[in-house]
Amino acid sequence: MESCPRDESPTNLRPTPPTNRTRENPARDKRIGTPANTIVSENITRDPAFCRIEQTPTDRRQSQLLAEIASLIFCLLAASAFRIIPQPSIAAIVPRANHCDKEDSDFVAASILEPAKGIPAMPTDSPNHENGNRRVAPAKFAHAVLATKQLEPMIDFYTTVLAAEVVHRNEMLAFLTYDDEHHRIALAAIPGLVDKPRHSVGLDHLAYTYANLGDLVFTYERLKQAGILPIATINHGPTTSLYYRDPDGNRVELQIDNFETVEELKGFFKSDAMRKNPIGVSFDADQLARDYHAGVPDAELKKYDPSKGIDPETMRRLVGNQQ
């Protein structure tokens, strides 16, 4: 392959009076790809005529190499994100520069592949030293992404169960939402997937909270009419919950909070009832619906009796291999 063109002209740095001073030069360092706090020896003068620094042929060649590599990396990563193709490593991209001389290749390896040595970690303190002690938590939980081999049944399930709408879809992806968030669930039909065995390490279930008991009862009745039944119904103490399985076997919990305040919810975790039974109590969803429509107070329907526990059949359906 033809080698890169080389500028054989002599260096075009203007002659400057000699000096023993050294200084940090982030602007030049950034331009040629060396760490920003590397000490670079340069001739410095107060005469403006001697302060203009131009790139040498080597500098220009190295900058051009970096620009080409950065452009190629961006294009490949963008293709990986939107077309679901394997993401290449940077090492696979570097040979793009191998038709240039060894000096250029060594420069690329030192500048991109190897971590910079001797550079202190970015400080966590702001100028007023407040960031180091601040607790910054996420503003909200945004979405979950599920990989699937059966895109259509999964779309049907989540649009039905969550009363969600599809905001975008194609032959491989679907984005669903049920509120003002742009998407709450993403479904990705990635080629080559294998089924995950039950009882494997990882996410156990997704949970969605409803505003009140009436909304939960209505959702149960609506899904029952659509032929979607819960695999388990459990009063956990803090919540009253209905568990479902999606077409891929992922568990989905629909729940309500059993207490009115956060303080009450947190207090339950320190209570004797939680110590006696931290798992929950089974209940009959049809009976719950009948009692709700009959006007039984919500507090009575959500009451937790730790002595009852979960019946074996409910536990088998919740953790077993049958959906």
Q: Spell out the residues 6+ positions from residue 62 whose beta carbon is closer than 8 angstroms to its own.
A: 32, 33, 104, 107, 111
Asked whether residue 55 falls in the same domain as residue 162, the answer is no
Predicted confidence at residue 311, as pLDDT, reads 85
How many other CB atoms sit within 10 Å of the CB of residue 17? 9
pLDDT for 154 beyond 80: yes
Residues 264, 309 within the same domain: yes
Q: What is the mean pLDDT of the chain?
A: 75
Q: What pLDDT is recorded for position 14?
A: 46
Place of tokens 């607790």: 135
Confidence of residue 111 (pLDDT cuts 50, 70, 90): very low
Burial zone of 100 (CB within 10 Å; 0-12 exposed, 13-18 middle, 19+ buried): buried
Verify that 244 and 280 share a domain, yes or no: yes
Tell me, yes or no, whether 105 and 76 share the same domain: yes
| Residue 319, domain member (yes or no) | yes
Q: Does 121 fall in a domain?
A: no
| Average pLDDT value for residue range 189-195 | 92
Asked whether residue 135 is domain-assigned, the answer is no
Residue 142: per-residue pLDDT = 94
- Domain encompassing residue 30: 22-113
Do 225 and 175 sit in the same domain of this protein?
no
Residues 6+ apart with CB under 8 A from 162: 176, 178, 184, 185, 208
| 151 lies in the same domain as 234 | no
CA 235 to CA 284: how far, in whole Å? 10
Report the CATH number that the domain containing residue 160 is assigned in CATH.
3.10.180.10
Q: What is the pLDDT of residue 24?
A: 46
Query: What confidence category does residue 217 fall into, taking pLDDT thresholds of 50, 70 and 90?
Result: very high
The answer to the question of residue 9 being in a domain is no
**Closest to 234 measured CA to CA, from 225, 226, 246, 242:** 242
Domain end among 191, 218, 250: 191
Longest dimension (CA), the chain: 97
Residues 247, 316 within the same domain: yes
- Provide the percentage of residues in the chain whose pLDDT is more than 70: 58
Whether the predicted pLDDT of 201 surpasses 70:
yes
Q: Please state, in angstroms and rounded to a whole number, the distance separating the CA atoms of residues 132 and 125.
A: 5
> Above pLDDT 90, what percent of the chain?
48
Sequence length of the chain is 323
pLDDT exceeds cutoff 90 at 298: yes
Each residue's pLDDT tens digit, 44-89: 444 444 444 455 666 666 666 666 666 666 555 555 544 444 444 4
Nearest to 61 by CA among 89, 33, 25: 33
Q: Where are the alpha helices (DSSP H) in the chain?
A: 26-32, 57-83, 90-93, 102-108, 151-161, 213-225, 262-268, 272-276, 285-293, 298-301, 312-319
For the cut 80, the answer to whether the pLDDT of residue 257 exceeds it is yes
